[in-house]
Structure 1
Amino acid sequence: MAGVAKRVRRHIRRQQPEQSLLRALEKTAAAFARYLPVQDGDINELPDRLDIDL
């Protein structure tokens, strides 16, 4: 995960913030799953669509 911040900065410099966030989430998903596993009865509290206003 050490390279995640570097990739985020690169995408932001290229004016691709949505790509930056999506790639960072893809790279960190396993770490989140390890500490925040899906449990019975979990609900999706976040919207499925990412809106970014710049």
Structure 2
Amino acid sequence: MEEILASIRRIIADDQAAKPAEIAPVPEPEPDDVLDLAEVAEPVIRPRAVAPPE
């Protein structure tokens, strides 16, 4: 029984030693969509209300 536990401990230790510590990737800043649209899009021209004829 002790041999089995020792074997399991060795396997676990080997697995932990084999995996290098992963470094989390640096998150890239999200583009500011509002500013991108303001620089690219044409201005919206809304129709004006027509005054009723008198």
- TM-score, normalization: structure 2? 0.28
Larger radius of gyration: 2
Q: Give the structure, 1 or 2, with the largest relative contact order (CA under 8 Å, sep 6 or more).
A: 1
The structure with the greater share of residues assigned to helix is: 1
- TM-score, normalization: structure 1? 0.28
